[in-house]
Structure 1
Amino acid sequence: MRYYVLDRGDQLSIDLSQKFHKLAEERGLQLDAESPEIVVSIGGDGTMLHAFHTFIDRIPELAFVGVHTGHLGFYADWQCEELSTLVDYMCGKSDPAPHKPRIVKYPLVELEINRKSGTTSHIALNEFTLKGVEGTVVLQIDINDETFEMFRGDGICVSTPSGSTAYNKSLGGAMVHPSIEALQIAEIASINNRVFRTMGSPLLLPKHHHCDIFSRREQRLMLTVDHTNYPIDDLISVRCQVSEKKVSFARYRPFPFWKRVRSSFLV
């Protein structure tokens, strides 16, 4: 088993990372920064986002495991004190019998950013947002190449099913099970009057649909993909849709999605 570890950088996460390496070496796991089979994230959900984007070019070839050290770790299955058990499971020494992980796959959102200066592409694990830097934004929302609404407000959030529990949730969006291949569009503080009329509620688009967001005036914008900000002052449009790629997580023990939601928000 080839593995790699990314930690949050605080002392607890660093100590746990060092402990993991020691346990892994004792059990015969191979440290491999170039082509790991399993990437272990030690920290919080932000650490998992960093791990995902670090290995984004190899997403189809590896799986992630999260060790939780903060107050909320939606992507993490393991607690600090369970590190030795996790390593045992990874090397097939679980008791009473070897335990192979169940690989679960979550949908992702891909976006194509068209600017006057060129075109770039990104993939988001949680969400991307488009906001104004100096006030409200004016955006035209098209669905499947037909104009849907003209938006004015603070911005737009487009999330994956797993990301539906993050920023999207705070905007009143629905929490969506990751088995549903969809993206969710949520408005951020929309303004509704005789000129600008919006739906005012989140929308779910299935995998075979796409959405285009057009900038309809000269405006300074901030595009955020997961944890990374991109200032843009020449945006033409953003096209988003469910990606053909999926992210994989190695589940060494049952942790159903709704149990994960409940333990994250209610218990």
Structure 2
Amino acid sequence: MTNRNNLYFYYPADEELEHKLEPLFKLAEENNFHIVENPGDANVVISVGGDGAFLQAVRQTGFRQNCLYTGITRSNESGLYCDFNMDNFDDMLYTMQHEEMEVRRFPVIDVQVNGEATFNCLNELSIRSTIIKSIVIDVNIDDLHFETFRGDGLVVATPTGSTGYNKSTQGAVIDPKIPCFQVSEIASLNNNRYRTLGSSFVLSKDRTLTLEVVQDGNDHPIIGLDNEAYPVRNIQNITAKLSDKLIKTVKLKNNSYWNRVKRTFL
């Protein structure tokens, strides 16, 4: 991608934030960048906020494959997806103009609910009970019935999503250069009738995961796609596999994924 001059800023409608962004817009224009109102016209989509804003920017612009995504945090925010801060915006413009940028490529999960349209997740898919009762899910890997899960729910995370909800369920943090996805339990119930692996497990890019919700009265779970809820009430089955799509983001020098993990958690 040689032309990086068309920028689209994704941020919530906020008068105070827009006022703070005005100097950045002016600086971009002074450096021969063009700010566009339609994300489809952009070569670079820039979210303003933390990781939640970045996820929304990717989702709301359709997981575009022909542009770069990057994130700018505000002074009181941090983000594993975001390399830049509002205070060093000029560094981002200089990098985009004068340096050979490194580009990260983050895996995406394809999710199909009840055999309907396919959705994408950059962070994770989650399925959770909505009532005070455990949910029962038959877990299938390819054509193998692997286990019958009973508990509060399951999280299916990408490598970059492994530091989010997945990590809070004691899942492992995965290097995003590994094309895989991870399945983690939320409060599983293990007894003589129900037995699960009891730990997270990682599936390769060639695997297909199918989750069949047992229709026992708790078949209206919450389905989370990144930081959005899926609107369908009755859930019968969910299929997840690694997508061919990759989200491309700008990478600053000396700021690897593991640099950011260390900075965030250690």
Normalised to the residue count of structure 1, the TM-score between the two structures is 0.91
The answer on whether the counterparts of 2:49 and 2:77 sit within 8 Å (CA) in structure 1 is no
C-alpha RMSD over aligned residues: 1.6
> Contact 2:43 / 2:66 at 8 angstroms: preserved in 1?
yes
Residue 156 of structure 1 corresponds to which residue in structure 2?
154
CA distance in 2, matches of 1:145, 1:19: 56
Moved more, 252-261 or 8-17: 8-17
Q: Percent identity?
A: 28
User: Does the alignment pair 1:14 with 2:18?
Assistant: yes
Aligned counterpart, 1:95? none
Confirm whether residue 71 of structure 1 aligns to residue 68 of structure 2. Answer: no
> How much has 1:10 moved relative to structure 2?
5.2
Check the 8 A contact 1:210/1:241 in 2, yes or no. Answer: yes
Match of 1:84 in 2: 90
Comparing 146-155 with 9-18, which one deviates more in the overlay?
9-18
Q: Runs of at least 4 residues of structure 1 off by over 6 A?
A: none
* Other-structure match for 2:210: 212
More strand by share: 1
Counterparts of 1:259 and 1:16, CA distance in 2: 28
Is residue 108–residue 242 contact of structure 1 (8 Å, CA) maintained in 2?
yes
What is the aligned residue count?
256
Contiguous gaps of at least 5 residues in structure 1: 93-97
Select 1:120's aligned residue among 112, 117, 122.
117
Q: Return the offset for 1:7.
A: 2.1
Mapping for residues 216-231 of structure 1, pairs under 5 Å: 216-217=214-215, 218=217, 219-231=219-231
Q: In the TM superposition, what is the alpha-carbon distance from 1:13 to its structure 2 partner?
A: 3.9
Q: C-alpha displacement at 1:9, in angstroms?
A: 4.7
Q: CA shift at 1:210, angstroms?
A: 0.9
Matches within 5 A, 1:1-267: 1-9=5-13, 13-32=17-36, 33=38, 34-57=40-63, 59-69=64-74, 70-90=76-96, 92=97, 98-114=98-114, 119-134=116-131, 135-217=133-215, 218=217, 219-266=219-266
Q: Which piece of structure 1 moves more, 5-14 or 102-111?
A: 5-14
Q: TM-score, normalization: structure 2? A: 0.91
Q: Distance in 1 between matches of 2:88 and 2:156?
A: 34
CA drift at 1:11: 5.9
Distance 2:138 2:18 in 1: 45
Offset from partner CA, 1:98-157 (integer Å, 9 cap, x none): 212111101111111116xxx121100100100111131111000012100101100000
- The residue identity in structure 2 corresponding to 1:104 is R
| Counterpart amino acid of residue 215 in structure 1 | V
Aligned mates of 1:29, 1:238 — CA distance in 2 = 43
Q: Which structure 2 residue ranges, 5 or more long, are not aligned?
A: none
Q: Distance in 1 between matches of 2:25 and 2:253?
A: 22
How far apart, in 1, do the equivalents of 2:264 and 2:156 lie?
A: 21
Deviations 1:29-56 (A, max 9, x none): 1122222111111111110011000112
In 2, Cα distance between equivalents of 1:16 and 1:64: 21
Bigger mean CA deviation after superposition, 130-139 or 206-215: 130-139
Whether the 8 Å CA contact 2:169–2:185 is kept in 1: the answer is yes
